[in-house]
Amino acid sequence: ACQFCGHRRDQYERCYGKRNRDAEPLLEEGDLYKLFQKLKGNEKVDLVSTMPVKEQDDPWVLKWDDFLTVQEADQLLDLIKGREWNPSAEVRREGTHTTLSPARRQSKSAYCNDCQDKVLQKLQKSLRDVLDAPSTALEPLEFVHYNYLQSFAMHHDFSIHDTWLPAGPRVLSIFLCLSDVEKGGAYGFPDLDWLLIPPKKGQLLIWPNVLSSDPNKRNSVMLSEALPVTKGDKYGVQTWVRMYDYRKAAEMDCV
């Protein structure tokens, strides 16, 4: 904990005020609501939140089955399985600092930032188009693998510390399932009446971490968790959308 606090002090001294004053935020008031209304109008997309969605700050969890074909998911798995896999970080940083919490997050992660695969490039473009976000706002794709009884405990993807960092907070979370799971491995939303979404190969989940009425504030009900896999393996790929330019912030070691 003391090392982490020291890292935060160092990061504050290096990074506070480094955001370009002319930088425009990705979201203004009401933009999230408009985005989810647009996505909801797609016949392939299901609104799976168990709570009523009538106002702009009500919880949204969108599920898009078959966002990837089985063949595309398998090709991505073949691409990534030979990469270096390391214990997943609960707080991922592109710079020299990484905070690990193996008791809370027990998966392994791999990255493929240097890959030139056509399916991977198609996925990246599809995500940008669906989310109406520039590539600079998206964090690098993180591939994850959950083995027997591995999970990610209840957490929130919004961090108050990110609000003063150049890239700003994570405004959207995205998880794409790359495998079917024999048993377990559902994605859960405890504050949405314990909403559980079973994993399915090719399935895309999207949810907000901030309020549509004020995209710089945390939407407190959007806690999530990855439940334990009780039989088989679970593979997926996830990313997050930032309020400002993530790529430049990473180059400054300020993420």
Tokens in use for 39? 């996505």
- Name the nearest CA neighbour of 147 among 192, 184, 121, 92: 184
pLDDT of residue 139: 97
Q: Is the pLDDT confidence value at 115 over 80?
A: yes
Residue with tokens 């592109």: 94
Q: Give the mean pLDDT of the chain.
A: 90
The count of residues in the chain is 255
**Whole-prediction pTM:** 0.91
Give the pLDDT band (50/70/90) at residue 49: confident
pLDDT of residue 219: 95
Give me the helices (H) in the chain, please. 2-15, 31-40, 70-80, 118-131, 246-251
Contact 226/187 with Cβ under 8 angstroms? yes
Name, in order, each residue with C-beta under 8 angstroms of 205's C-beta and a sequence gap of 6 or more: 61, 62, 63, 64, 173, 174, 175, 176, 177, 187, 197
Tell me which of 174 and 37 has the higher pLDDT.
174
- Summarize pLDDT for 77-101 with one digit per residue, the tens: 999 988 999 999 754 444 434 454 5
pLDDT of residue 210: 96
Angle, helices 70-80/118-131, rounded to nearest 10 degrees:
120
Compute and round to an integer the Cα radius of gyration of the chain: 18
